[in-house]
Chains A and B, each alone.
Chain A
Amino acid sequence: MQHLDRAHKAAWTGLLIVALLLPALVAFDTYLIHVAITITLNVALATSMWMIWSLGFISFAHAGFMGIGAYTSALLLTKLGISMWYGLWLGALMSGLIALIISVPLMRTRAVYFFMASWAVGEVIKRNFAYFRDLFGGWDGVFDINPAKINLGFVQIDFADRVAYYYLSLFFVALIVLIIHRTNSSRTGMMYWSIHENELLAQHTGVNVFREKVIAFTVACTLAGLTGALYAHYQTYISPKSFDIWKSEFALVHVIVGGLTTVGGPVAGAISLTIVDELLRATGYFRTMFFGVVLIATVILLPGGLETIPGRLRRLFQRSGK
């Protein structure tokens, strides 16, 4: 199946090295490390959203499932005193469990109906957080979602420290991207893309399409839940607004601008657009509009997204080399 060629391997290795050295590269600037953490979380969300896309679906419920992970981990800590080391996993699990239940009716819908149904699911999740004030804190949200400390005997790490949290986040996000990449570049991914390409034919060659859709959706939402829990313990404050449709839409723009056919697409899209978004922070209201412009410009000027740039460059050099 599609294993990575040398150029891709080099690119991924380079990215990983930069990511590992990043705090030093930005001279431990707290703002820039904050941007880096935001990037890791956006990469994770966009990548797991793209996993659902590999079967041909765009889920607007994705931020909602991120929220389920975030609220689960947050409430475990603030109500029961259970630390984030358990909360991260339990948040992911809770998100996966709810995704499993919801996907049974949801994955029977198609195309525009799925689009609308997933939108509704995302909205209902958000409104539940707002409605059940005693449990979820209503529109005010949940405060004091502190990260954990660990004591390794010779050294103590407090994840309230940004650099420490950056590495924690990087570890989990790398894990998420690795899981999705492995899945995608194997028989499983071939099966997903065959459903995407021609569901009827996949079915008639023996693929239990419905079952695979449910599994893929559940796994992707589990990973989104993990992302949400990481988000909660970083921000230390969450509210229903943190997980509204806009969050899903930004993730979708990351995926489209980055590219839809390889895992490199959402990664490249989330990294570059998060940086651009930070640069535009000063413009306030125009940020959202800018996203729209970038999306339209990409679709028109760079069809296929950022992931097609290496191929375009290669072709350019080959042509001029002749």
Chain B
Amino acid sequence: MKQLEIKNLTMAFGGITAIDGIDMAVEEGEIRGLIGPNGAGKTTFFNACSGRYPVTSGDITFRGHQISGLKPHEIARLGLVRTFQHVTLFKSFSVVKNVMAGNYLHAQHSYFGSLLRTRKTRRAEADSEQRAREILDFVGLGDIADKTASSLPHGHQKALGIAIALAAEPQLLLLDEPCAGMNNDESRQMINLVRRIRDTGVSVMLIEHDMKVVMGLCDKITVLNFGNIIAEGTPAEVREHPEVREAYLGSQANVT
């Protein structure tokens, strides 16, 4: 089943056309890679899907809902959640509180509940913390749940960003360069995490520069260049595509 469908999407900033009329579809249960050189429009694509910037023209449909034109919180509510290229956390919160904050949509927030501190509210708070700790165990941060987010090393901060997104209980998760700035060991753990996320029934779309990561992890890859899709297919197909070699890697590059 098609989960995300893009029709003729264009994103322009003043004179710059960052996305130039692309069509795409992401299937339920797949891990999709989105690659392309710097400035190709990858992050802009995520910004369009998540409602961060309004689309210039075109349609985005998610699970039967038209989401182009919606606000980020409305899109998150429908089950499409994204992470950010640059580490984006609630920095002064503890790790577990970061994830609890991310769990807002499912925490049954009510003003009167907060004020009267009813039994229902207290139970919801306890459940939310429990859920946050489970998610932290899942991403491998269970041991450092009570540390302050800003004190974590870069790799852990990246993982925490994903934990926050998972707390919003997405059906489709968009990851913007999850392995950026990681060493080999951390990258391997991240790859493993993405697979395990998919195995829980969440579709994943990820932007990544590291070809080893993309080729090994993705079911299908879409290649962007100057806001256009120049190739799409399995890792093997994309690897052999001449235009990809030309544009993304330089003609002499050796894609392994």
A–B pairs, 5, beta carbons within 8 Å: A179-B115, A191-B104, A200-B88, A204-B50, A205-B76
Chain B residue numbers with a CB within 8 Å of A189 are 114
The chain B residue with its CB closest to the CB of A189 is: B114
Q: Given A187-B125, A206-B104, are A201 and B115 also a contact pair (CB < 8 Å)?
A: no
In the complex, whether A144 has a CB less than 8 A from a CB of chain B is: no
Flag B106-118 by CB within 8 Å of A: 1 or 0 each.
0101010111110
B109 contacts A188, C-beta separation under 8 Å: yes
Q: Which of B164-172, B185-193, B230-238 lies at the binding interface?
A: B164-172
Cβ-defined contact, A204 with B104, below 8 A: no
Q: Are A201 and B93 in contact (CB under 8 A)?
A: no
Partner of B114, one of A188, A194, A207, A208: A188
Docked pose: A205 CA to B72 CA in angstroms: 8
State whether A204 touches B93 (Cβ < 8 A): no
Q: Mark A203-220, 1 if CB is under 8 A from B, else 0.
A: 111111100000100000
With A and B bound together, what is the CA distance between A188 and B111 in angstroms? 7
Given the contacts A190-B97, A206-B104, A201 and B111 also touching, CB distance less than 8 Å: no
A205 touches B117 (CB 8 A): no
A197 at the interface (CB under 8 A from B): yes
The 4 closest A-B pairs by CB, nearest first: A186-B114, A206-B105, A206-B76, A188-B114
Would you call A209 and B92 a contact (CB within 8 A)?
A: no
A-contacting residues, B66-118, CB 8 Å: 71-73, 76-77, 81-82, 84, 88-93, 97, 100-102, 104-105, 107, 109, 111, 113-117
Encode contact with B along A171-197: 1 for CB under 8 Å, 0 otherwise: 000000001001100111111011001
The residues of A that contact B114 with a CB separation of less than 8 Å are: 182-183, 186-189
Q: Are B111 and A205 in contact (CB under 8 A)?
A: no
The size of the chain A interface, using a CB distance under 8 A, is: 25
- B52 is an interface residue with CB less than 8 A from chain A: yes
Tell whether A186 pairs with B117 under 8 Å between CB atoms, given A1-B125, A201-B89, A205-B167: yes
Contacts of A207 in B (CB 8 A): 73, 104
Which of B71, B90, B168 contacts A197, CB < 8 Å?
B90
When distances are taken between beta carbons in the complex, the residues of chain A under 8 Å from B93 are 193-194, 197
Known: A204-B76, A206-B105. 19 other contacts (CB 8 A): A1-B125, A182-B114, A183-B111, A183-B115, A186-B113, A186-B117, A186-B121, A188-B109, A190-B97, A191-B101, A194-B93, A204-B52, A204-B81, A204-B82, A205-B76, A205-B167, A206-B77, A207-B73, A208-B73
**Which bucket holds chain B's interface residue count?**
35 or more
Point out which of A189, A194, A206 has the most chain B C-beta atoms below 10 A from its C-beta. Answer: A206
A32 at the binding interface (Cβ < 8 Å) = no
Shortest Cβ distance from B131 into chain A, in angstroms? Answer: 13
Name the one of B97, B113, B125, B168 contacting A205, with C-beta atoms under 8 angstroms. Answer: B168
Inter-subunit contact B88/A198 (CB<8 Å): yes
CA A215 – CA B71 in complex, angstroms? Answer: 18
Q: Which chain B residues lie closer than 8 Å to A206 at the CB level?
A: 73, 76-77, 104-105, 168
In contact, A209 and B73 (Cβ under 8 angstroms): yes
- Report B-chain residues with C-beta under 8 Å of the C-beta of A302: none
The verdict on B124 contacting chain A, using a C-beta distance below 8 Å, is yes
A188 CA / B104 CA spacing, docked (Å) = 10
Quick check: B88 and A187 within 8 Å, CB to CB?
no
Contacts of A205 in B (CB 8 A): 76, 81, 101-102, 104-105, 164-165, 167-168
Measured between beta carbons, the chain A residues less than 8 angstroms from B164 are 201, 205
- Complex interface: chain B residues within 8 A of A203 (CB): 71-73, 76
C-alpha spacing A117/B2, complex, angstroms:
47
Question: Which residues, 147 to 185 on A, are CB-close (under 8 Å) to B?
Answer: 179, 182-183
Confirm or deny: A22 has a beta carbon within 8 angstroms of a beta carbon on chain B. Answer: no
Are the CB atoms of B107 and A187 closer together than 8 Å? Answer: yes
With A203-B72, A204-B52, A206-B168 already in contact, the answer to whether A197 and B115 are too (CB < 8 A) is: no
Across the two chains, which residue of chain A brings its CB closest to B97? A190
A188 to B52 alpha-carbon distance, docked (Å): 24
**Which one, B50, B73, B90, B125, contacts A186 given CB within 8 A?**
B125
For A198, list chain B residues within 8 Å (CB). Answer: 88-91
User: Which residue in chain B gives the minimum CB-CB distance to A210?
Assistant: B71
Query: Cβ of B109: which chain A residues have Cβ within 8 Å of it?
Result: 187-188, 191
A202, CB-defined interface residue at 8 Å: yes
A179 to B77, CA, bound (A): 29
Contact of A202 among B92, B101, B117 (CB under 8 A): B101
Residues of B within 8 A of A209 (CB): 73
B73 touches A194 (CB 8 A): no
Docked CA distance A189–B105 (Å): 15
- Complex CA gap A205/B79 in Å reads 10
- Distance A134 CA – B198 CA, assembled complex (angstroms): 70
Cβ-neighbour of A182 out of B97, B115, B165 (below 8 A): B115
A205–B117 CA distance with the chains assembled, in angstroms: 24
